[in-house]
Amino acid sequence: MAVSFDDERRVFFISTQNTSYQIRINEYGMLLHSYYGALVGKADMSYLIKEVDRGFSGNLYESADRRGLSPDTLPLEYGTYGSGDYRVSAIKTVLENGSRTLDLRYASHRIGHGRQAIRNLPYVRDDGRTDVLEIELEDRISGIRVILIYNVFEDKDIITRSARIINGSENSVSLIKAASMSMDIQNRHMDLIHFHGRHAMERITERSALGHGVYTVGSKRGQSSHHNNPFVILCDRHADENFGDCFGFMLMYSGNHAEEIELDQTGSVRVVSGISSEGFEWKLGAGESFDTPEVIMAYSGEGFNGLSHLYHRIIRENVCPARFRDKKRPVLINNWEGTYFDFTEKDILEIADAAADAGCGMLVLDDGWFGIRNNDKSGLGDWFVNKDKLPGGLKAIADHTGKLGMSFGLWIEPEMISEDSMLYREHPEWVLKDPDRDPVVARDQLVLNMSDHEVVDYLYGCISGILDSAEISYIKWDFNRSLANVYSSVTRADMQGEVSHSFVLGTYELLERIGAAYPDVMIEGCAGGGGRFDAGMLFYCPQIWCSDNTDAINRLIIQKGTSYGYPVCTMGSHVSISPNHQTGRETPLVTRAIVAMSGTFGYELDPRKLDDNEKNEIRQQIAIYERYCDLICNGRYYRLTGDEDEKCYTAWEIVAGDRSEALISIVVTDMKGNQELPFLKLKGLDPEASYVIDGVMSSAYELPGAAKDETEHADRVYMGKALMHGGLTLDPLYGQYPAMQLHLKNTVAKNDVMD
């Protein structure tokens, strides 16, 4: 098994294929974190723990003569508040008598095979090879117990952590902080990488050296947010894409979250991840329990690319719904940027005809098809067809697309409501709203109270009615504002601190029910683009609209940041028109396609407005994507360029699992006169194999009078080790944001091999 316990040394050993994780119980029942990193087998790493007397760091009462044995300085596995550990805590409680002290000590443990689902929450699915460790801690005075749960995916080098908090007393307890995990990494000079942003510019990579104090990344917007993704990386100062120790912590949660990182007085780093404690309070009656969301932990000594591959695999194979894992997703066209709200049934049918002619496999009808919805000021909540716009209803469109050999998809925004709607006039009590206070309004909409089961039942009835009315195979599930005025009219005053978390649970329940009732309907997550791009949503939705920003050059930044934790197959990415609606930038159609192909490929435009040349280009692009879609969705993704390169160009590579082929993409973002040649060191190839290189598509402009390079890559065969160690020098790329895509194919040809 991947988990074992040494009774004599009182050490837990967790092993994956390439990593080790160790926990020690000391003689006072304190649970200490010994080690997480490269595989060390059964070598007891607790020798790394040193007891040092540090001033103003208190001791356990029963060990007062050992001043170095302090909760404030030892590497704890789950830090508590009030018992002498002054660092960021993982759990805070308030007892009935007002006490906030919690002192958790080891009580028991269980080692087993096969994980259990987390009640009402997403989780990393069992693949039949999962081992589990549960360590029960207890506060002997209050009776509060915490079960730390470790699920070990041995062959995938993944460990997940969550906690179950149990009120074992006869009195009620208030839980005011309930993190999923805490871990102390000893004696390391580390950098923090996190992924910040804003609407239309999500998951921008930011790296900073950790200084002393507490660094918090999080959201209190009721969603994981555009602004701080619930995924952080801690790495050695020298780590880069291909080398160095990297630790990843990804929270599977779509609501308020906090990742707290502290460099303490000893030079150790503590990371705590879980639900944000701000505004959170959960009442636990006698015998009641609370389950925290799961954190996906990974370690790689092979840099950020190595860490990314671990996350990409576990999300593809164990997080996303299995029924869509190997299902080929059609190239879709969405009408939003083509028409916005201004469309008729005739328009949509014409768009379908033009899209089918170009080779698209799905038409998605976006916002504006329901209620009285001619702009974003009304209609949300009224989930019935606007017969003035669509006299034939959804069925007429679905039937038409079906005859064209296309499937049909639909946009909805279930969790939202407009004040100007029939639903609000009938049920104003269903919104999140403080009593006697005007609500915060965003995008002219309010938020439904998803913590109310009556609301969830209503929405399920609406959505199931829509899905039953026509042949619909896809839903784009949107969420276009942050939460505020988080107050539920059906919740007791002393339990309002539970509403924000219960809201997320209500959304998960609705997604679960829809998925169970309509297993063939694929749901694409969306929250104004990437406002809920997290592993929690991916449990229900195998892809998420990456950003409302469809500008190809901005998308390079957004999709690169996303790729550190999330695989290409989860990123909704479309080709839109030029000039782009968000930035006004003009970009070649080929460049837009190359960028969008590093995602779930599609189009966001009105195909009726394309000229014949553009239509032919789109046909070719779709044919190329169809040819390489399995490689793109399931291959290993490598970021090939760093910050210095990306002042001029950005490049990435996708390599087949058997290393038989690879796809290389490069986009020039800053054209300079007499430019340096683009140079790439490829990754992940078979070093002993021979590869032939063919051009797939290019938007490069050939300068008049330029000498032609007679050594075309297509005429040469290269050894994998040459391409990885020596690299590949490309010809100059000229023009306005030129881009190129190259295909490498493993060949048995022996002539003209460049080694």
* pLDDT digits 0-9 by tens, 718-740: 999 999 999 999 988 999 999 99
pLDDT, mean of residues 570-574: 98
Mean pLDDT of the chain: 95
Q: 704: exposed, middle or buried (C-beta count within 10 Å: 0-12, 13-18, 19+)?
A: exposed
> How many alpha carbons fall within 13 Å on the CB side of residue 19?
26
Give the tens place of pLDDT for each residue, 288-332: 999 999 999 999 999 999 999 999 999 999 999 999 998 999 999
Give the tens place of pLDDT for each residue, 89-103: 999 999 999 999 999
Question: Is the pLDDT confidence value at 749 over 90?
Answer: no
Q: Which residue has the tokens 């087998």?
A: 41
Give me the phi and psi of 751, to 5 degrees please: -80, 150
Active site residue 614: yes
What token pair was written down for 103? 């002192």
Residue 150 — left, alpha, or beta (φ > 0 → left; ψ -120 to 50 → alpha)? beta
Residue 267 — left, alpha, or beta (φ > 0 → left; ψ -120 to 50 → alpha)? left
> Looking at residue 703, what is its pLDDT?
54
Report, in this order, helix, strand and coil percent for the chain, each rounded to 5: 25, 30, 45
Q: Which of 614, 626, 686, 731 is catalytic?
A: 614
**pTM across the whole model:** 0.97
Give the tens place of pLDDT for each residue, 452-488: 999 999 999 999 999 999 999 999 999 999 999 999 9
Q: Which of 534, 548, 551, 653 is catalytic?
A: 534
Parallel, antiparallel or unpaired: strands 201-209 and 91-94: unpaired
pLDDT, mean of residues 165-193: 96
Task: For residues 238 and 189, give the distance between their C-alpha atoms in angstroms, rounded to a whole number.
Answer: 10
Residues of the chain with CATH 2.60.40.1180: 639-754
Scanning 324-432, the segments in alpha helix (DSSP H) are 336-339, 345-358, 393-403, 422-426
Question: Is the pLDDT confidence value at 754 over 80?
Answer: no
Q: 210: exposed, middle or buried (C-beta count within 10 Å: 0-12, 13-18, 19+)?
A: middle
> Looking at residue 326, what is its pLDDT?
86
pLDDT band at 710 (very low <50, low <70, confident <90, very high): very low
Give the tens place of pLDDT for each residue, 20-70: 999 999 999 999 999 999 999 999 999 999 999 999 999 999 988 899 999
Parallel, antiparallel or unpaired: strands 190-198 and 173-185: unpaired
pLDDT band at 715 (very low <50, low <70, confident <90, very high): low
Question: Is the pLDDT confidence value at 264 over 90?
Answer: yes
Kindly indicate whether the domain formed by 76-319 is annotated with CATH number 2.40.128.640: no
Residues of the chain with CATH 2.70.98.60: 76-319
Q: Are 252 and 275 in contact (CB under 8 A)?
A: no
Question: Is the pLDDT confidence value at 2 over 80?
Answer: yes
Nearest C-alpha neighbor of 257 from the set 532, 626, 594, 550: 532
Q: What percent of the chain has pLDDT over 70?
A: 97
pLDDT, mean of residues 107-126: 97
> Looking at residue 531, what is its pLDDT?
98
- At the topology level, CATH places domain 367-545 in TIM Barrel (3.20.20)
pLDDT, mean of residues 212-225: 97
Give the tens place of pLDDT for each residue, 639-687: 999 999 999 999 999 999 999 999 999 999 998 888 889 999 999 999 9
Kindly state the DSSP code that residue 746 receives in the 8-state scheme: E
Task: For residues 30 and 13, give the distance between their C-alpha atoms in angstroms, rounded to a whole number.
Answer: 17
Element (H, E) at 516: helix 499-517
Active site residue 278: no
Residues of the chain with CATH 3.20.20.70: 367-545
pLDDT band at 712 (very low <50, low <70, confident <90, very high): low
pLDDT, mean of residues 696-720: 67
pLDDT, mean of residues 424-428: 98
pLDDT band at 755 (very low <50, low <70, confident <90, very high): very low
The CATH number given to 639-754 is: 2.60.40.1180
